[in-house]
Structure 1
Amino acid sequence: MRNPFFYRQRKYIFIPILFFLLGSSLFFLNSTPTRSEDTTQMTPTVFIHGFKGGPGTFNTLLDRFEENNWGTKQMVIHVSSSGNVQVRGSIPYTMNPFIQVLFENDRASIRSQTFWLQKVMWTLKEDYGISQVNLVGHSMGGLASTNFLLNNQRGSFPTVNKLVTIGSPFLGIEQETYFATNTGAATVDLKVDSNALTSMMENKEKISPKVGVLAIAGVINQEAAPAKQTDGLVSKQSALGLSYIIPAVNYQERIFFNEAATHSGLHEFAEVDQAIAQFLWNIQSEQDI
């Protein structure tokens, strides 16, 4: 007669092995790139912070976008100072995923951030099958995004359908006190007539004739002369300087006159939320309906 204790013992050994195999499967599923059922039909929107920015730049904006049912944040991409790309999350089947890019070195030059953005875009194309994206950049993130458009001919990158820049100083920052208290390679590029900004203007013929662009500027001193109007850091003229790079047929701009439309407050401004949603996804506000 067979010993029942022997079968009970085998049963108890089998159960931990089953859990181990199940756990291992889940680990590998979460550790390898996963693609949507059809990523070619999606256009994820990639959000890039600016100088000294980080998760806080777009976290609350993306929370509001989700609350409005405009899409969901599906992926966060960290880029180390050495350029290593680490991806958290995936692109499941959803028609409007958001991707947040975070640079470890938030004071790097436009050239470095452009190179890192190229690595991010290559990863999205090669590992996740993303063929097209929208870009949204605040301040220097808008400069890096535009410079990517000027330097993406060589390489396997997704096509950029639309670009939104928020308070990006395309003509530089005029406040000398700003450079007295801020340091890093980025501060060289952010000065008026810097080599980096001048180079972008000189290479404007490299921009794709198909990409649509929206430049957003804030003005907190509406009573000032037009040349002196500013969001507290970036002048209106500088934020709209993208018009010197983008063909007029593809260029739009929005100016928000409000004491709350500060340089760091623009990405917390409800009217900016609506302007982005309308431009990228043709979502109308209740007032327009």
Structure 2
Amino acid sequence: MRSHIYNERRKYILIPILFFLLGSSIFFMNSSPTRSEQTDSTIPTLFIHGFKGGPGSFNTMLQRFEGNNWGSKQMVIHVSSSGSVQIRGNIPHTMNPFIQILFKNDRASLENQTFWLKKVLHTLKENYGIDQVNLVGHSMGGLAATNFLLSNQQGSFPSVNKLIAIGSPFLGIDQESYFAANTGAATVDLKADSHALTNMIKNKENINSKVQALAIAGVINQEAPPAKQWDGLVSKQSALGLSRIIAPVNYQERTFFSQTATHSGLHEYIKVDQAIAQFLWSIQSE
């Protein structure tokens, strides 16, 4: 009698266990692994500030992106003056993640910023398994992102899917008063016809032919002749100078004419937000 009761109880215990094991096996057979092939909406996007920039350069833009449900800031990476990388946050593979890059030395040369960006991207590849990224840079940040593409053949890095340069002076800044008021190694590279800038154009053949690029320029003096139009610091021609590096088939450009499309105001300009969302994630503005 006791044996019969024991067998009955064991039967009722085993049945739920078998159903659980069967359900679990079906789940794992149909679920995707963490490091599955990434779509455009799950490729991390790195935001890189410019000369004398910092957290404020992209903070409010990223807050607007989050408010629009375009993604979420998941990681902040601090790079010291010696090049050491400190990372706060992590990267989930189920959403559109943003990564903010902050250089402690915000007046460093283009060579140093490019080297630091290499260290960041190598760390993301080796420690976080990130295989693809988008790069968005404001001003000198756009130069550093582009220069990485021109010199990243050696080493283990994520591939770059898309590049956006916002108000980046690819042909330099032609304003003596600016250099009289600002100091740092970056100012040498930011001058028109500097070795760093001419070298970028010279090395354009090194760019991966699959990278899609968007150059964004601001114009606050639309009534001026095209050669004189600028965002208050960088000329339209200079900001669109990325066209001398990227092949026409992969290159797009947008120019925004407004009194508020200033050099520092471009990353606060709603139409720039919309241009970024459309280019990176095919999000159409209403």
TM-score normalized by the length of structure 2: 0.87
Distance of 1:117 and 1:261 partners within structure 2: 27
Gaps of 5+ in 1: 1-35
Contact 2:132–2:159 (CA under 8 A) maintained in structure 1: yes
Which residue is equivalent to 1:155?
155
State the Cα distance separating 1:100 from its structure 2 match. 0.3
Q: Is 2:35 the counterpart of 1:38?
A: yes
Query: Superposition RMSD on alpha carbons, in Å?
Result: 0.9
The alignment covers a number of residue pairs equal to: 251
State the Cα distance separating 1:249 from its structure 2 match. 0.2
195-204 or 39-48, larger mean C-alpha shift: 39-48
Distance of 1:171 and 1:204 partners within structure 2: 14
Which residue is equivalent to 1:63?
63
Contact 1:48–1:137 (CA under 8 A) maintained in structure 2: yes
The 5-angstrom pairing of residues 67-216 of structure 1 reads: 67-216=67-216
Distance of 2:163 and 2:276 partners within structure 1: 10
Distance of 1:281 and 1:120 partners within structure 2: 23
Contact 1:61–1:268 (CA under 8 A) maintained in structure 2: yes
What's the secondary structure of 1:189's corresponding residue?
helix
Q: Of the two, which has the highest radius of gyration? A: 2
Contact 1:172–1:194 (CA under 8 A) maintained in structure 2: yes
Distance of 2:155 and 2:219 partners within structure 1: 38
What's the secondary structure of 2:119's corresponding residue?
helix
Large movers: runs of 4+ above 6 Å: none
State the Cα distance separating 1:93 from its structure 2 match. 3.1
Contact 1:39–1:131 (CA under 8 A) maintained in structure 2: no
Q: Aligned pair in 2 of structure 1 residues 39, 113: CA closer, same or farther (>3 Å)?
A: farther
Contact 1:39–1:130 (CA under 8 A) maintained in structure 2: no
Distance of 2:133 and 2:161 partners within structure 1: 6
What's the secondary structure of 2:58's corresponding residue?
helix
Q: Which amino acid aligns with 2:123?
A: T
Q: Which amino acid aligns with 2:199?
A: S
State the Cα distance separating 1:134 from its structure 2 match. 0.2
Which residue is equivalent to 2:22?
none
Give deviations 1:149-191, integer Å, cap 9, x for gaps. Answer: 0011101000000000000000000010000000000000000
Gaps of 5+ in 2: 1-32
Distance of 1:220 and 1:163 partners within structure 2: 24
Contact 2:72–2:95 (CA under 8 A) maintained in structure 1: no
Contact 1:40–1:132 (CA under 8 A) maintained in structure 2: no
What's the secondary structure of 1:91's corresponding residue?
coil
What's the secondary structure of 2:267's corresponding residue?
helix
State the Cα distance separating 1:92 from its structure 2 match. 1.8
Which residue is equivalent to 2:9?
none
Contact 1:40–1:130 (CA under 8 A) maintained in structure 2: no
The 5-angstrom pairing of residues 270-289 of structure 1 reads: 270-286=270-286
Distance of 1:167 and 1:222 partners within structure 2: 16
Q: Aligned pair in 2 of structure 1 residues 264, 89: CA closer, same or farther (>3 Å)?
A: same
What's the secondary structure of 2:135's corresponding residue?
strand
Identity of aligned pairs, percent? 76
State the Cα distance separating 1:37 from its structure 2 match. 2.3
Give deviations 1:45-94, integer Å, cap 9, x for gaps. Answer: 00000000000000000000000000000000000000000000001232
Distance of 1:210 and 1:186 partners within structure 2: 29
State the Cα distance separating 1:39 from its structure 2 match. 6.1
Which residue is equivalent to 1:239?
239
What's the secondary structure of 1:284's corresponding residue?
coil
Which residue is equivalent to 2:54?
54
Contact 1:39–1:129 (CA under 8 A) maintained in structure 2: no
